[in-house]
Amino acid sequence: MEIHHGPGGSRTIMRERADHSRVFSNRYGHGYIERPYRFGGREFVHRTYYVGGVAYVRMYQPFVYGGIALSVYSPALFYPAAFYGWAYNPWAVPIAYPWGWAGNPWFGYWGAYFTPYPVYASPALWLTDYYVAQTLQAAYAEQAAALANAQPLAAPAPLTPDVKQAIADEVRRQVALENAEAAAGVQAAPDPGSSGIARMLADPMPHVFVVSTPLDLTSNFGGCAVTEGDVLQLNPGTPPNVTAANLMVLASKGQDCVKGSVVQVGVSDLQDMQNHMRETIDAGLGELQKKQGQSGIPAAPRAAAAAPVQTGYAAIAPPADPNVATELSAQTKEADSAEREVLSQDTSAGSGPEPVAQAAAPAAPPPPQDLTGWSEAQVNATYPETVGSPIVFGTKKIITIKTSSGNVKVTFTNGKVTDIN
C-alpha cells in the first residue's frame, strides 16, 4: 500500500492486488478499482469508480509521453454525427435554462466565484456551465462534512465572461474531437496520442483546463496551490516530450496562484484534467440529448435524436467491480491506521539518540541483528521474504519482513532503516 499526500489535506492510497488490478482511494473512501484488458490488440484499462454513493465505469488507454505513463479517456458511447453537429453549432435563438441550483450548499459556497449565464446562445456555453458546476459540486461533496457550516468562499475574483468563453471554445474543440473519433466507427479504438494531452501539447493553438483535483505547483512567483474549478491555459510552443508544461492562470480562487501567473503542471496532471473534461462533457451531452425540446432547450434534428451506440472496447470490458464500495472503505480505514502508527512512532521516538529502542514493541520478536541505518536494498537482500504490501507515508516506508525470530516491521525514513519492531 502506498500513501501519498497532496495540498489541502488530500490523500491518495494505492494498492496493487495479486491479479494485477489496482485499488485507488482517498481519505473519504472514494476512488476506483482499475483492471487491465485488451481489445483489438490494444491495451485498455477499466475503472470502477465509487464517488458520492454511486458506482460507475470508465475506460482508458495507456500511453507514454516523455517517459510518463498516462491513462487517456476513451468514450464508452458515440453519438450520431448529426448530434455532435447540433451540439457544436450555435442555437438559432438564445435560451434561458432553469438549473435549480439556488439553495444548494455547494452553489452558495462557490457563489462569489461562479455565476451561470443568464441565457445560452449555444450548447457549448450550456456545457461550460455544466462542466464548471459539476467540478465545483464534486469538490464540495468530497468535503461536505467540513464545509457544512463554513462561510462562503472569501471574495475570490469571479470567473469572467472572457474566461468562460475560453472554456466554451475548448468544449467545442473536445466535441469536434469526439465527433472525429466517432466517424471512425464504434469498433475502432481512438488513438491515445491524438485523443489525449500529447496532441494538445503539440497544437498551434491555446488549450484551456479546469482544475479537477488540488495541486501544489511552482509558479514564477514561487510555490502556490490550485484547487477544483481554477482555470489554466496552455499556450503553443511547448517542447515535445516534456514531463511538465508552463500554463497561465486565467482564474483562481486562492491568493497565491493569482491570475496572470505562470505555473508548471505535470503532463500526467494535465491528462487527468483533460480526462475529467471529456468525461464531464460526455455526461453533459447525455443530458442535452435527453432534455432536447424541454426546459427551454431547442429540439434537436430527428437524426440527432438517435440513441448513442456503445463502443466495441466498452462492450467487452470487464464488468463493474461489485465490491468497490466495501474495498475502498476498507483500504481507507487501513491507511488511517497506518498513518496513526507512523505518527505514534514519530511521537514516541522524540529527539533522543536511540529511537529504535524507544519505539520497539517489547512483545515483538527482534530480527537476528540490528538493522538501523541499513538501506532498503540491504534489507531486501538479507530478508527477501515479506508479508503484505509496503506502506508508504511521505518519506517513510514500512515493510514486514520474515526472520528466523518471526515477522518484523521495518520502517525506512528517506531510504534508511530508522525503526524495527
**Residue-wise pLDDT tens digits, 317-365:** 998 888 888 888 887 787 777 777 766 665 555 544 444 444 444 434 4
Read off the pLDDT of residues 174-210 as tens digits, 9 standing for 90 and up.
Answer: 999 999 999 999 999 999 999 999 999 999 999 999 9
Q: Has residue 162 got a pLDDT over 60?
A: yes
Per residue, what are the HEC states of the chain?
CEEEECHHHCEEEEEECCCCCEEEEECCCCEEEEEEEEECCEEEEEEEEEECCEEEEEEEEEEEECCEEEEEEECCEECCHHHHHHHHCCCCCCECCCCCCCCCHHHHHHCCCCCCCCCECCHHHHHHHHHHHHHHHHHHHHCHHHHCCCCCCCCCCCCCHHHHHHHHHHHHHHHHHHHHHHHCCCCCCCCHHHHCHHHHHHCCCCEEEECCCCEEEEEECEEEEECCCCEEEECCCCCCCCCEEEEEEEECCCCCCCCCCEEEEEHHHHHHHHHHHHHHHHHHHHHHHHHCCCCCCCCCCHHHHCCCEECHHHHCCCCCCCCHHHHHHHHHHHHHHHHHHHHHHHHHHCCCCCHHHHHCCCCCCCCCCCCCCCEHHHHHHHCCCECCCCEEECCEEEEEEEECCEEEEEEEECCEEEEEC
Q: Is residue 362 a part of any domain in this protein?
A: yes
Average pLDDT, the chain: 87
**Is the separation of the CB atoms in 143 and 214 below 8 Å?**
no
- Tell me what pLDDT residue 14 has: 81
Query: Within a 13 Å sphere around the CA of 36, how many CA atoms are in the beta-carbon half?
Result: 12
Indicate whether 402 belongs to any domain.
Answer: yes
Is the pLDDT at 79 greater than 80? The verdict is: yes
pLDDT band at 9 (very low <50, low <70, confident <90, very high): low
Number of structural domains the chain divides into: 1
Asked whether residue 384 is assigned to any structural domain, the reply reads yes
The answer to whether residue 174 sits within a structural domain is: no
Tell me the C-alpha distance between 11 and 332, whole Å. Answer: 10
Q: Is residue 376 part of a domain?
A: yes
Calpha distance 257→251 (Å, rounded): 9
**Per the domain annotation, does 371 fall within a domain?**
yes
Cβ contact 40:187 at 8 Å: yes
**What is the residue range of 354's domain?**
350-420
Q: Is residue 59 part of a domain?
A: no
Whether residue 418 is predicted with pLDDT greater than 90 in this model: the reply is no
pLDDT in tens, 359-395: 444 434 456 667 888 888 888 888 888 866 676 655 6
* % pLDDT > 90, the chain: 56
Across 290-301, b (16+ Cβ under 10 Å) vs e yields: eebeeeebeebe
pLDDT digits (tens, 9 = 90+) for 33-77: 999 999 999 999 999 988 778 888 999 999 999 999 999 999 999
Rg (CA), the chain: 24
CB 66 within 8 A of CB 242: yes
Please tell me the predicted confidence (pLDDT) of residue 377.
Answer: 83
Q: Which cell numbers hold the place of 418?
A: 530508522
Question: What whole-number distance in Å separates Cα of residue 421 and Cα of residue 419?
Answer: 7
